[in-house]
Structure 1
Amino acid sequence: MTPSLNTPSLDRLNQHEDAVLDGILLEVCSSPTWARLVRLARPYPAPEALLAANAAAMDALSEADLRQAMAGHARIGKPKQGDATSQREQSGVSGADRALLDELAQANAAYEARFGHVFLICATGRTAGTMLAALRERQDNDPAKELEIVRGELRKINDIRLTRLLEEDA
């Protein structure tokens, strides 16, 4: 059955064919494992069930899966051009002065050299300065601790994106 456009958004997610839902979910998080696990948690009787599916899927991701999820995110301080989600989530860097953006770029490079992946933080509502401070604070974490922090940040980002998906699709 193909969901109609006037069906409430959560109902539509529950009714989509697997491949269609996977495509929608991969726009939220670029880990195919995450998308599959969230899809397999259907039906979602309420938005909270969808968010619980996100949390359970995030907890189940391997390090390789987390790296796939991180690969879908722009470097902090450099939102992807033409990507409304990236630009909205990193709106706190718009208007930051050049010196602060340069510091953020240098700190990002040091972080990436240490951990082998982009610095990931739920940037929604954060300024460039607060993201730089968090980046510097996390630079000394051991890799295992940092990966668990990343897992939590990805979960927050996914929660925001899933909630927005339901709101935009309503």
Structure 2
Amino acid sequence: MLSRPSDSPRTPSAPRFLRSPRSSRSARPPGQRASAAQAPPAATGDAALLGHLNAAPAGVAEGALLACCGSRRWARLIAAHRPYPDLGALLAAGDEASYDLSPADLDEALADEAVVEQLPAVIPMDGAGALAAHTALRAAHAEYERRFGHVFVICLDGLHPDEMRNRVLAEIHARLDNERDAERAKAAEELRRIARGRLVRLISGPLQLSGIPRFRPA
């Protein structure tokens, strides 16, 4: 297990071409490994952005990759294995690094997420019904954090903003019944899926979480 070195601070910013608005070991089915064949090919216009990521200094690349997953070790592993010939290879490396998160790495990545707090950015809070729904969501999330000791994470890629709140609320309630180890494995898998989508957006253009501006909680 690799511990986080104290001399590896987060890079405060990345150049414009990479800048964004900002469980134990994850369970991997026997014999499963990340495969570049599972990834969509990079569009022709994305090749230049991938080339910039490949050529960027290590600290700059790690800073950009931290916008995809909050584990410093995850970002270092992907940066260290450059250059990547295409998006598929980059996504395979992201999956592999996600499978290799230590308990401490997973805790660090989870601490960097704030899905529930981000929802109001894309879901209007007009009307008593919307306010009541968001109040219920925050109450459910508080119970989730009390039970598991970390924030709730879920990949929302592909969902319309109108569907997000109901999906998150339903999933929180369903996952509250999980055992602690099972939920950490589920959270790690959701982080892997989230990171995969963010890598695609990092290479394709503005980095967003299903339309939700990416930011780090204070």
TM-score bracket, normalised by the shorter chain, equals: 0.7 to 0.9
After TM superposition, the structure 1 = structure 2 runs for residues 73-112 of structure 1, keeping only pairs within 5 Å, are 73-76=113-116, 78-79=117-118, 87=121, 91=122, 93-95=123-125, 97-112=130-145
Aligned-partner Cα distance in 1 for 2:184–2:137: 20
Q: 1:68 aligns with which of 89, 103, 108?
A: 108
Aligned-partner Cα distance in 2 for 1:41–1:59: 16
Q: Which amino acid letter does the alignment assign opposite residue 166 of structure 2? A: G
Following TM superposition, the consecutive aligned residue runs of length 4 or more in structure 1 with deviations greater than 4 angstroms are: none
Aligned-partner Cα distance in 2 for 1:120–1:100: 18
Q: Superposition RMSD on alpha carbons, in Å? A: 2.2
Aligned-partner Cα distance in 2 for 1:38–1:140: 34
Q: Which amino acid letter does the alignment assign opposite residue 67 of structure 2? A: E
Matched with 2:77 is 37
Matched with 2:200 is 163
**Can you give the 5+ residue segments of structure 1 that lack an aligned partner in the other structure?**
82-86
Structure with more relative contact order (C-alpha pairs < 8 Å, separation 6 or more): 2
* 1:149 pairs with 2:186: yes
Q: TM-score, normalised by structure 2?
A: 0.66
Q: Which amino acid letter does the alignment assign opposite residue 137 of structure 1? A: A
Aligned-partner Cα distance in 2 for 1:154–1:131: 15
Give the CA deviation at 1:80.
8.2
Contact 1:10/1:166 (<8 A) preserved? yes
Q: Using the aligned pairs only, state the percent identity.
A: 38
Matched with 2:11 is none
Q: How big is each residue's C-alpha offset from its partner over 1:57-109, in whole Å with a ceiling of 9 and x where there is no partner?
A: 00000111111111111141x2189xxxxx4xxx3x44570111011011000
Aligned-partner Cα distance in 2 for 1:52–1:104: 34
* 1:118 pairs with 2:151: yes
**Can you give the 5+ residue segments of structure 2 that lack an aligned partner in the other structure?**
1-14, 18-44, 207-218
**Mean alpha-carbon deviation: is it higher for 123-132 or for 41-50?**
123-132
Q: TM-score, normalised by structure 1?
A: 0.84
Aligned length: 156
The structure whose residues are more often helix, as a share, is 1
